[in-house]
Amino acid sequence: MAPLIVPHYTADAAVRQKVQALLTRRQPEARDVFDLYILSPQPEAQSLPLGDYFPEEEIQRAIDRIDSIEYERYRDTVVGFLSPEDQQLYDRSETWDRIRLMVIDMLEKRLPGKP
């Protein structure tokens, strides 16, 4: 059977929750970054003014935490749970680097004063 996908949150609420998770977990989780990557094309995620919810220094701290997550952790905690087809797409350190950079770019664009 194909998986049933049922959204529990709006995209903007999910983005806020994932940023909050990056800030509050003892150790940042690769799955939060991957989820932000998956959410990033959503119009609500692209236009969300994160500065209304998080001070600039917290957004910067989330960015720093994203940058600290190594490929091996991503591979072991995210890629292993994907379908075999998706594993072929996502199981490369270069892909993880691209994912992190895209999410960091999304967060930086949401900083106060950014277009």
pLDDT tens digits for 60-100? 999 999 999 999 999 999 999 999 999 999 999 999 999 99
Residue pointed to by tokens 């890629």: 79
Contact between 68 and 28 (Cβ < 8 Å): yes
Nearest to 90 by CA among 41, 40, 33, 46: 33
Q: Is residue 112 pLDDT above 70, yes or no?
A: no
pLDDT tens digits for 41-65? 988 888 888 888 999 999 999 999 9
Instruction: Give pTM, 2 decimals.
Output: 0.88
Would you kindly state where each structural domain of the chain is located, as residue ranges? 11-109
Q: Taking the CA atoms of the chain, what radius of gyration do you get in angstroms?
A: 14
Residues 6+ apart with CB under 8 A from 102: 37, 40
21's tokens: 């998770």
